[in-house]
Amino acid sequence: MTRGVGVEQVDGVVQRAKSLGFQVQLNLGTDKIVVAILGSNTGQTPTETFAVLPGVESVTRIMKPYKLASREFKAEDTLVTVGGVEIGGKRVVVMAGPCAVESEAQLMKAAKAVKESGAGVLRGGAFKPRTSPFSFQGLEEKGLELLAKARERFGILVVTEVVDPHDVDLVAKSADILQVGARNMQNFALLTNVGKSQRPVVLKRGFSSTITEWLTAADYLLAEGNNQVILCERGIRTFEDSIRFSLDISAIPVVKKFSHLPLIVDPSHAAGHYSLVPAVAKAAVAAGADGLLIEVHPNPKEALVDGLQSLTLSDFARLMEELRLVAKSVGRYI
């Protein structure tokens, strides 16, 4: 729409689109308004149908499968602000903590340490979707209670995974940020419910998914009016077997080019070994990641989940100091 357009002119475009059976999504930017017209047969409708309407500056077709996550829909970067922490800006936001919440003592010790080292968000899994049904599945509701307790005690934001569409409201009571894991990236019922919750969400890339599939999954969240979406690259499955997953470092600049959404990186799941995590984390920050999701455990040797890829509290503190130097070199800070 043209700059300074009136409400009546925007409403005219919206009503015209709906009369043709299309869905509409509005991007109310600081400088101008963009109206996304969505539908399976938009390609059969001439652009002139909307170009002639009052207040319309230009009409552009978005040919990519993803629409709302694209730069064509929103040119400026999206900033997700949660409890005073801004993700997508100059600060590289570190989310750190144990892969799984195991006990009150374990979580509180980890929360205190990561907060003191400069992490902006505490991570911890209460519900753990595992490859084997015999593996530890998490403390579930008890885990959520402990996360809420850590948030209150240390004044730190919490991110945790939700795996069941019916648990979205339950998890949202204890978490500031919801996480959709790699295995659920295309669980569309879950994405729809998380989108409807209007809560900030971290969407992990599926380990066999293309960037296009990943951004199209993000559209499910955005289509529900939830614009607080954070993408997370966590490594993809390749023929390489010396690491757990291959971190697609090129995904960072590619996503930055084609999408307005902030992007963080999970070096822990990509590396699969604690000794490799620092190098991968530093590479991600240097490449332009807006944040990191790092597994930290008070005693990795006793961890019930992913102990091999978890940093000790002292190793994490050391890494944070190294990351500050890398961030500063690319004009950012931690």
Assigned domain for 121 exists: yes
Is pLDDT above 70 for 311?
yes
Is pLDDT above 90 for 129?
no
- β-sheet bridge partners, residue 177: 159
Tell me the CATH number at 90.
Answer: 3.20.20.70
Distance CA 136, CA 139 (A): 9
Shared domain check, 146 and 246: yes
30 pLDDT band (50/70/90 cuts)?
Answer: confident
Mean pLDDT, range 124-152, rounded to an integer: 84
Assigned domain for 290 exists: yes
3-state SS of the chain: helix, strand, coil percent to 5? 40, 20, 45
136 pLDDT band (50/70/90 cuts)?
Answer: low
Alpha helices in 64-205 (DSSP H): 104-117, 141-154, 168-172, 188-197
Shared domain check, 306 and 179: yes
Task: Say whether 104 sits in a helix, a strand or coil.
Answer: helix
Shared domain check, 229 and 98: yes
Is pLDDT above 70 for 230?
yes
Shared domain check, 303 and 227: yes
Assigned domain for 1 exists: no
Shared domain check, 14 and 95: no
| DSSP assignment letter at 273 | S
Domain that holds residue 26: 7-51
**Across all residues in the chain, what is the average pLDDT?**
95
Phi, psi of 180 (to 5 degrees): -105, 120
Mean pLDDT, range 105-115, rounded to an integer: 98
Shared domain check, 47 and 84: no
* Percent of the chain residues topping a pLDDT of 70: 98
204 pLDDT band (50/70/90 cuts)?
Answer: very high
Shared domain check, 140 and 15: no
* Residue pLDDT, tens place only, 71-96: 999 999 999 999 999 999 999 999 99
Shared domain check, 123 and 185: yes
Shared domain check, 227 and 152: yes
Assigned domain for 59 exists: no
Is pLDDT above 70 for 130?
no
Shared domain check, 98 and 228: yes
Mean pLDDT, range 9-34, rounded to an integer: 93
Tell me if 34 sits within 8 A of 88, measured CB to CB: no
* Percent of the chain residues topping a pLDDT of 90: 91
**What is the model's pLDDT at position 134?**
64
98 pLDDT band (50/70/90 cuts)?
Answer: very high
Assigned domain for 158 exists: yes
Assigned domain for 64 exists: no
Shared domain check, 100 and 18: no
Assigned domain for 63 exists: no
Number of structural domains the chain divides into: 2
Shared domain check, 177 and 310: yes
Assigned domain for 61 exists: no
